[in-house]
Amino acid sequence: MKLYILRHADAGEASAEGYTTDAARALTPKGIKRTRQLANALRQMEITFDVILSSPLIRAQQTAEIVARSLGKEKQLRHVSQLAPDGALTDALALIESVRPKASSILLVGHEPNLSRLISLLCTGGTNLGLTLKKGGLCRLELNEAKSGSASLEWLLAPRHFGPKRQTRTG
């Protein structure tokens, strides 16, 4: 099974006027643009998902919804408390294991530091891999079962990999 792990894109600052809680922070225009670029890149690579699981916080919901809409997978999207910032890694593992038998490709959308800890736990059996998933960053794991040390890291991409190619000038 392919497990994709996506950190939400750029969001407004928690201290910004208009946000009453951290959970209410929405994507910035830059975050929306970068997520659309990511969704376009996923389409071009012909990557799709059987299930999309997102944290219930607004910034993660918006990130997941942009991807789901772009891929025509809105019906596969579910918001789950296990991916909230205060969610336990054991709960995330149980969630993955519960959907794994019915899915060959799963996308999780959530927050740091839990996503990097989850990647580390799945790949090494511990949470100290020293990996940090950037905002809008995407990781792909090959996974046979959702337990410690059972995954292989296939790739990890920063958001800059999804944007338009920059032209360089010579001479």
Q: What is the pLDDT of residues 27-65, one digit of tens each?
A: 999 999 999 999 999 999 999 999 999 999 999 999 999
What local confidence, expressed as pLDDT, does residue 20 receive? Answer: 77
Please give the share of the chain, as a percent, with pLDDT higher than 70: 93
Burial 117-149 (b: 16+ CB within 10 A, else e): bbbbbbbeeeeeeebebbbbbbbbbebeebeee
What are the strands, taking DSSP E only, across the chain? 2-7, 51-54, 77-79, 105-110, 138-143, 151-157
pLDDT band at 171 (very low <50, low <70, confident <90, very high): very low
This prediction's pTM: 0.92
Q: Is the pLDDT of residue 18 over 90?
A: no
What local confidence, expressed as pLDDT, does residue 167 receive? Answer: 44
What local confidence, expressed as pLDDT, does residue 91 receive? Answer: 96
pLDDT digits over 105-120, tens only?
A: 999 999 999 999 999 9
**Widest CA span in the chain:** 57
From CA 26, how far away is CA 23, in angstroms rounded? Answer: 8
Angle at 147 (CA atoms; ends 143, 152), nearest 5 degrees: 35
Amino acid at 130: G
What local confidence, expressed as pLDDT, does residue 165 receive? Answer: 55
Q: Is the pLDDT of residue 148 over 90?
A: no
From CA 158, how far away is CA 43, in angstroms rounded? Answer: 17
Query: Under 8 Å CB-to-CB from 32, ≥6 apart: which residues?
Result: 9, 62, 66
Cβ neighbours, 10 Å, residue 29: 8
Output the six-digit token pair for 53: 């699981």
pLDDT band at 147 (very low <50, low <70, confident <90, very high): confident
